[in-house]
Amino acid sequence: MTGMKIEKVSGKGVYVAGNDIDTDRIIPARFLKCVTFDELGPALFYDERFDTQDNSKHHVLDKAEHSGAQVLISDANFGCGSSREHAPQAIQKFGFKAVIAESFAEIFHGNCTTLGIPCVTMVKTDREMIAKIIANDPDTDMIVDIEGLKVICGNHVFNVEMKDSAREAFLAASYDPLDTLLVAKSAVEETAKRLGYA
């Protein structure tokens, strides 16, 4: 299932503000009742977007001008909490291809990487600038450049950082590691034997 190289991601951006946005907020637990991840897109940020009668709360993700956005921008410690892969699955199924934040929670970051969603970190002042640019013109094209570690937004270029191993994996198309892990079958057997696990 190793996918294509991911060197750049481009599209419109949308800013979902807030520190410590946890995976329960990204996808409430009741939507975890499923045996495949296929239908999770509409559940993204559900309780932030809809009230208990399913009426829209006019969340930024539901504003017409942000429809079709592919780059999600947020703040510090994005994706903290549970290990549920349902969270990045919902983000991906909703249409996002990359996430920019101040920082990411670790399990969430790993899940995104495996699914081919680059997570890059950017300082606050730059994110605020991007938020302003998007507010002025929601159609502004953004490019998240994994290779160059830059984000281009309109006429501006911003520096971003990402974990070396994730960057390498996107550029080598090995972000889904399963095939690589299976290659080492005999080394795995030796390890199991050495530790008395086989």
Q: How far is the CB of 148 from another protein (least distance, A)?
A: 18
Q: Judged by CB under 8 A, does residue 34 bind another protein?
A: yes
Give the nearer residue to another protein in terms of CB position, either 73 or 142.
73
Give the nearer residue to another protein in terms of CB position, either 13 or 110.
110
List all residues 6 or more positions away from 24 whose beta carbon is below 8 Å from its beta carbon. Answer: 81, 82
| Count of residues interacting with another protein (CB under 8 A) | 62
Tokens of 50: 């809809």
Q: Judged by CB under 8 A, does residue 149 bind another protein?
A: no
Which H or E run contains 190?
helix 185-194
Angle at 81 between CA 112 and CA 174, to 5 degrees: 20
Residues 51-70 interacting with another protein (rule: CB under 8 A):
51-52
Q: How far is the CB of 31 from another protein (least distance, A)?
A: 10
Q: Judged by CB under 8 A, does residue 135 bind another protein?
A: no
List all residues 6 or more positions away from 61 whose beta carbon is below 8 Å from its beta carbon. Answer: 14, 16, 44, 45, 49, 69, 94
The answer to whether 3 touches 176, Cβ cutoff 8 Å, is: yes
In angstroms, rounded to a whole number, what is the distance separating the alpha carbons of residues 105 and 21? 10
Rule CB under 8 A: choose which of 44, 88, 121, 153 binds another protein: 88
Give the nearer residue to another protein in terms of CB position, either 142 or 146.
146
Q: Judged by CB under 8 A, does residue 90 bind another protein?
A: no
Q: Judged by CB under 8 A, does residue 141 bind another protein?
A: no
